[in-house]
Structure 1
Amino acid sequence: MKPHLLLIEPMMPAVEKALDESYVVHRWQKDELPKDAPIRAIATGGGTGVPRAVMDALPALEIIAINGIGTDAVDLVEASRRGIAVTVTRDVLTDDVADLAMALMLASMRDLLPGDRLVRDNLWGKQVLPLARKVSGARVGIVGMGQVGQAIGKRAQAFSMQVSYFSRRNLDLPAFPFVSSLPALAEQSDILVVAASGGAQSRNLVDRKVIDALGPDGLLVNVARGTVVDEQALVSALQEGRLGRAALDVFTDEPNVPDALKTMPNVVLQPHRASATIETRQAMGRLVLDNLTAHFAGSPLLTPVTPLF
């Protein structure tokens, strides 16, 4: 008999087809849960995760397979207590996230969006854009130096950027100097890139003090989680000229974005799509499927989240 699985976030058609072939798939309809279904698995995304009420309503739940690397929307303590396995799709989306971080840097520093609009509006030759900022050789500070942070650092070095980082501990990375104070890192950086994990431990890590240290000529790039940055402090700093630019792929209350950010010419916005390429989403979906297959076959999981206790 096929195991019952709850699909919380839609996935690529080929992945959903494979799920339908191997499982009795129940597609989540907001707050509605299938009645009397012995659901043993959940496939979800990092953004939605698993609402605690859903987890509590599924006594037979054995595994949560996250299509992403974020675990802040899953109660890992409760999952560990109940012996529910949790997997992510680490390793396969690192390049895409790092690529987008670089794209956001370039788009913001070189004013690519204002230039695009000027051409489309037939204003080339009629209006002149202000001079942009140089990217090569800029000083880059990276907040969070896991796989994504290190991949961003390597790409930045290809632009002759001076790269340093802040993390919970010194990782002794030969190519990247560690800075033990986040405000100090921001103060010595032209660009601050947020690549830290989300969750309670990093909420509002980038606060007003950090933003002010980055300063009126600085650029803040966030490809991590919206909650890592104090969004209101960010908006205020941009409005008041205490921060020069921002380039954001993530927000505190997605898909809701502060209206003020939408009207600022010095802000680049993306709809949380750092891993949104065909190749990477296929690889992520395959890893979700492989983790589920391994679980129900009694084999070791490919990319489990480390138990909290």
Structure 2
Amino acid sequence: MSDRPVIAVVQPHLGLLVPQLSQHYDMIALWEEKDPPRLAEVSALIMAGEFRLPPELIDQMPKLGLIACFTVGYDGVDVAAVRARGIQVCHAHDANHEDVADHAIGMILAQRRAIVAGDRMVRAGEWKRGAKMITGSLDGARIGIVGLGSIGAAVARRAEVMRMETRWWGPNPKPDAAWPRVDTLEELAAWSDILVVAARAHHDNEKMISAAVIDALGPEGLLVNVARGQVVNEDALIAALRDGRLGAAALDVYAQEPTPAERWADVPNTILTPHTGGATDAAVRRMKEMLLANLTAFYAGEPLPTPVP
């Protein structure tokens, strides 16, 4: 048996990490593992933080000392519970917030300027001489941001340059914020032409974008979600889009991922992307660098460079 540390990778889409890490560690790909007793030797676990980490999996790893979220998010980990077992948790702190903000702005442009609809029109041969598609300007548009963390602030900076008026809401005031905070989420939705959800998901804010918030945004409003699917009441969102009580939605995240295609087949005025907001080459490179740094520090008995808060 190798005397190298044993590390397990949870999700198949993180399999790209295995060849590089195999140079220094004994790697286990859980989706291929045929020898469950090997799990008892695992000292570090690598995962995508948006997926729930089952406690029964941790129970099979008595030597586990580190849960390394390759991603920025870590909402799939019960941090308090695993820390109570002496397990450290790290993540890719601020690795992709600028990229996610770019994606949010791109989705706003795609919907407001009908870029996707225009593409389809040209390809379908429906562009008629003399006809002109009139789309929505962003000049003076009111954008409300839910959660003024790294992503929310990055969206606000871009919106300001694009001549939009910005306000925000979050549970905790930020006296140094450059943009005004409104008192309630519903008040922000009622004020906004565009509502961007950029809040970190946790057990207290599930479905906080409720039917009431969606109705407050209204039939001319656009809801953009680049946070987590569970912070939006997806059933209420779909019903409002079908009924015309909400103008449009641009979504990168969903209650279930992958989201079933048939769920959206007859839902109008939507732009959908497959949770790619932060998945850029530069962001993945930074995530790899942070992961390697955290693993090196953990096995050297040094403080983790990017522990979860």
TM-score by length of 2: 0.93
Secondary structure at the aligned position of 2:44 is classed as strand
What residue is the counterpart of 2:215 in the other structure?
Answer: 212
Does residue 1:64 correspond to 2:70, yes or no?
no
Residues 125-150 of structure 1: per-residue CA shift (max 9 Å, x gap) = 27957532112321010001111110
Distance change (3 Å), C-alpha of 1:11 and 1:36:
closer
1:3–1:234 CA distance, 2 compared to 1 (3 A): same
After the TM superposition, which residues 157-196 of structure 1 pair with which residues of structure 2 at under 5 Å, given as runs?
157-196=160-199
Q: Note if contact 2:242-2:268 (Cα within 8 Å) is conserved in structure 1.
A: no
SS at match of 2:264: helix
User: Partner of 1:22 in structure 2?
Assistant: 24
User: Is residue 12–residue 282 contact of structure 1 (8 Å, CA) maintained in 2?
Assistant: no
- Aligned pairs for 1:1-309 (under 5 A) are 1-9=3-11, 10-11=13-14, 13=16, 15-29=17-31, 34-37=36-39, 38-125=41-128, 131-257=134-260, 259-306=262-309
Deviation at 1:283, TM superposition (A): 1.1
- Greater shift, 47-56 or 16-25, is seen at 47-56
**Is the Cα contact below 8 Å between 2:219 and 2:247 reproduced in 1?**
yes
Deviation at 1:242, TM superposition (A): 0.5
Q: Is the 8 A contact 1:141 1:186 kept in 2?
A: yes
Of the structure 1 ranges 233-242 and 277-286, higher mean CA displacement relative to structure 2 is found in 277-286
Q: Deviations over 1:78-105 (max 9, x none)?
A: 1111011111101221111010010011
**Secondary structure of 2:67's match?**
strand
**Count of equivalent residues:** 305
Equivalent-residue separation in structure 2 for 1:265 and 1:123 (angstroms): 19
Give yes or no for contact 1:49–1:66 (8 Å, CA) kept in 2.
Answer: no
- 2 and 39 in structure 1: CA distance in 2 versus 1, 3 angstrom threshold: same
- Root mean square deviation of aligned Cα: 1.9
Which range moved further: 233-242 or 249-258? 249-258
Quote the Cα distance in structure 1 between the aligned partners of 2:35 and 2:277. 30
1:121 offset after TM fit, Å?
1.9
**Under a length normalisation based on structure 1, what TM-score does the superposition of the two structures give?**
0.93
Residues 113 and 23 of structure 1, relative CA distance in 2, 3 Å threshold: same
Q: Give CA deviations for 1:46-74 in whole Å, capped at 9, x if unaligned.
A: 22252222112211110011011222211
Assess if the C-alpha contact under 8 Å between 1:170 and 1:178 holds in 2. yes
8 Å CA contact 2:49, 2:76 repeated in 1: yes
Contact 1:114 1:265 survives alignment (8 Å): no
User: Structure 1: any 5+ residue segments left out of the alignment?
Assistant: none
Q: Is the 8 A contact 1:294 1:300 kept in 2?
A: yes
Q: Report the Cα offset of residue 24 of structure 1.
A: 0.7
Cα distance, 1:284 vs structure 2: 0.8
CA deviation after TM superposition for structure 1 residue 257, in Å: 3.7
SS in 1 for 2:23: helix
Any conservation in 1 of the 2:72–2:95 contact (CA below 8 Å)? no
Shift of residue 153 of structure 1? 0.5
Q: Between 70-79 and 29-38, report the one with greater CA deviation.
A: 29-38
Equivalent-residue separation in structure 2 for 1:293 and 1:252 (angstroms): 35
| Cα distance in 2, alignment partners of residues 12 and 216 from structure 1 | 43
Determine what percentage of the aligned residue pairs are the same residue: 38
In structure 2, distance between residues paired with 1:18 and 1:42 = 15
Distance in 1 (alpha carbons) for counterparts of 2:121 and 2:267: 16
Which amino acid is 1:167 matched to? G
Q: Distance in 1 between matches of 2:237 and 2:32?
A: 31
Instruction: Specify whether residues 76 and 281 from structure 1 end up closer, same or farther in structure 2 by C-alpha distance, changes over 3 A only.
Output: same
Gaps of 5+ in 2: none
Question: What residue identity is the alignment partner of 1:8?
Answer: V
Cα deviation 1:153-196 (Å, max 9, x = unaligned): 10110101111111111111342101120000000000000001
Q: Distance in 2 between matches of 1:254 and 1:82?
A: 29
CA 1:258–1:185: 2 relative to 1, 3 Å: farther
